[in-house]
A and B are shown apart, each in its own frame.
Chain A
Amino acid sequence: MNGRRLWAIVIKELRQLRRDRITLAMVVVVPVIQLVLFGYAINLNLRGLDAGIVDQANTAGSRALVMDMLATDVISATQKADSPQQLMAMIRRGRISIGIVVPPDFERRRIDGRPVAQVLVDGSDTTVQNAAAQLAQTPLDSALPDTRAPATSTPPLGRISVVSFYNPQRVSAINIVPGLIGVILTMTMVLFTAIAIVRERERGNMELLIATPLTSTELMVGKVLPYIVIGLLQTTVILALGIWLFDVPIRGSVLDVYLATGLLILANLSLGLLISTRAQSQFQAMQMTFFVFLPSILLSGFMFPFAGMPRPAQWFAEILPLTHFLRLIRGVMLRGASLGEMRADVLALVAFVAVMMTAAILRFHKRLD
């Protein structure tokens, strides 16, 4: 590999990119739009959700709790019900989104420190679920100071239990944002390089390039390098927005986040290159990209819990870079794990990059036939 020729390709790509307004816009606008759409769709602070309330205790304490919940304006009591069963039927029929049940032994539970009330949620709508989570944090002691439990500044979590139907995973913005980094990078990075070589073939540049001393490796690596920078830029945009808008935590090291992301970027770029050596036109390249993108979204564990998928789907998902990335990034950002603790997934990504890159270089011939 000749450093000067490689650098010439990198500079050329960057110069072309700088003049390509649409691609440039894609680099910034796509992550922003996706993040805001996905993030807010899930994290909307809803007001006035239709709710049904069953207060079976009917004590001063339980009435105070119900009043506090209503005072948040998140729910408005629109339906009357007498039993939890009746509430569930209402949820099923879509009459209400949230049901609140205060059991007859409310006072006992309060003394024992067990959950004092149940919030039933229509989990098929994630926004409602978030609202319920918010409700569940209603401080129990605000209205009626309890001498046994000294008032603390932190609300007593878990004292009201939330039962979520239809979406037991309870996906939230915090869960979504790390995954979204992966999804956005899968979408944009594969496409960038998938188009890169086909476009030069379509525009006729390729016939010029292959008649020069440039080697396949220089050409391939030179096309990947600039986009790694672009990918890391995108990552930074998503992370910054995620932290700013949704308070997404980075519990592990930031370096690990970027390392894991860098691996995913490389994996996607090399996959794109391989597509590019196959595709006959830019349109075909896009089709093939989409063909990879869809299973990535559906099977990687981004949309549906990985554990719940049938075995063959799981095996297939193990091939997808996004699957491994999701494990890594969730581990690092949400559980504070380090990459060293998740070596298997790191190795899987490294292997993927090596195989794809080699295949792309071998498949690319400096020939027209």
Chain B
Amino acid sequence: MNIDSDTVVIRAHGLTRRFGELVAVDRVDLQVPARRVYGFLGPNGSGKSTTIRMLCGLLTPSAGEIEVLGLRIPAEAEALRRHIGYMTQRFSLFEDLTVRENLEFLAAVQGVPKAKTKARIGELLGQYHFGDRQKQLAGTLSGGQKQRLALAGAVIHEPELLFLDEPTSAVDPESRRDFWEKLFELADAGTTLLVSTHLMDEAERCHRLAILNLGVLVADGTPAELTGRLQGRTFIVEAADPRRAQRLIVDVPGVLSVAQVGNNLRVLTAERGDAAESAAGIGQRIDEVLAHAGQTAQTTATPANLEDVFVAATRNDAKHAVQAA
């Protein structure tokens, strides 16, 4: 398959999955471009894993259509299997096999040509820093090492499309950088990656991302597009008594969330206030309220980050939510 960068590899329309009464994924529309790292951002239980499972053909959708690499899923899921790699959220390699044995098993099962198997495993052991640990049982690896091994296992057959479900949840920040280097290398080599996460700094690295909340896709686009949409709606308030200031600001009409960051408060406002004033107008109202209460404080506009995007997308109704970060 010859895929250039503007081909769409995953297309989903009206994707829905119900578990009894619960709607875990609710009418999600998705388009994932080739050779890109596509992020799935969402809190616990937002339906990230469920969506990924449906896209790999492991779960049958309750409604909606899926097309992955030109194959209709779940009907043609079996044909899709040889082209994808899937790293599950929970460690799913065999804990009672060694690092090397796990890779040998996956190479055979994924159909890596016999003649190439040895070289490929050697290559992966080197790239993923398992040279001196190949005889260690996978169950005795640390959390981060397990995730590294799982990634090595998922790419052993050089799939065109990789699904990674929270691949770095147990990786320390230092190694996470290393991990993401690998993901970009894979994307450069022509692999399409779909990565789920609930970490903002990871989401920021993705070429594109979709934000899920309660099973609903609430926003998608490049990180720059997403933060750009919040232009002018974020403020930093430096206050002498941040706790008290926070309680005051929350009640200002048009304020979506107030989060304490160190001694400062990060305020996200709605697009328009109750009196249809602009976001900047809401900023002024904050100053007035604080001054009226005798608080010494200074409000300045600040560029939006993905966390703001996330909060804006998920907390439209939670006007009184107080978030301590």
Contacts and interface: CB of A to CB of B under 8 A. Distances in A.
A367 B108 contact: no
Contacts of B95: 203
A11 B98 CA distance: 13
Contact of B108 (A4, A16, A204, A369): A4
Nearest to B93: A208
Contacts of B53: 368
A215 to B, nearest CB: 8
A221 to B, nearest CB: 14
Contacts of A214: 109
Contacts of A105: none
Interface in A206-229: 206-214
A211 B93 contact: no
Contacts of A5: 108-109, 111
A211 B59 contact: no
A213 B88 contact: no
A8 to B, nearest CB: 4
A93 interface: no
B86 interface: yes
Contacts of A210: 58
Given A12-B105, A16-B94, A16-B97, A367 B59 contact: yes
Contacts of B137: 19
Interface residues of A, number: 27
B88 A207 contact: yes
A11 B105 CA distance: 8
Interface in A6-32: 7-9, 11-12, 15-16, 19-20
10 contacts: A16-B96, A19-B137, A203-B95, A206-B92, A211-B56, A211-B86, A211-B88, A213-B81, A366-B78, A368-B59
A8 B105 contact: yes
Interface in B71-117: 74, 77-78, 81-82, 84, 86, 88, 90-97, 101, 104-106, 108-111, 114
Nearest to A219: B109
A5 B101 CA distance: 14
Interface of A: 4-5, 7-9, 11-12, 15-16, 19-20, 203-214, 366-369
B60 interface: yes
B24 to A, nearest CB: 11
Contact of A4 (B78, B92, B94, B114): B114
B60 A367 contact: yes
Given A15-B101, A213-B81, A367-B58, A208 B108 contact: no
Contacts of A211: 56, 58, 81, 84, 86, 88
A11 B88 CA distance: 23
A212 B109 CA distance: 7
Contacts of A204: 88, 90-92
Contacts of B78: 213, 366
A16 B77 CA distance: 29
Nearest to A5: B109
A208 B97 contact: no
Given A15-B101, A204-B88, A212-B110, A20 B59 contact: no
A205 B102 CA distance: 11
Interface in B236-293: none
Given A4-B108, A208-B153, 11 more contacts: A8-B104, A205-B92, A207-B58, A208-B86, A208-B88, A211-B56, A212-B81, A213-B81, A366-B77, A367-B74, A368-B59
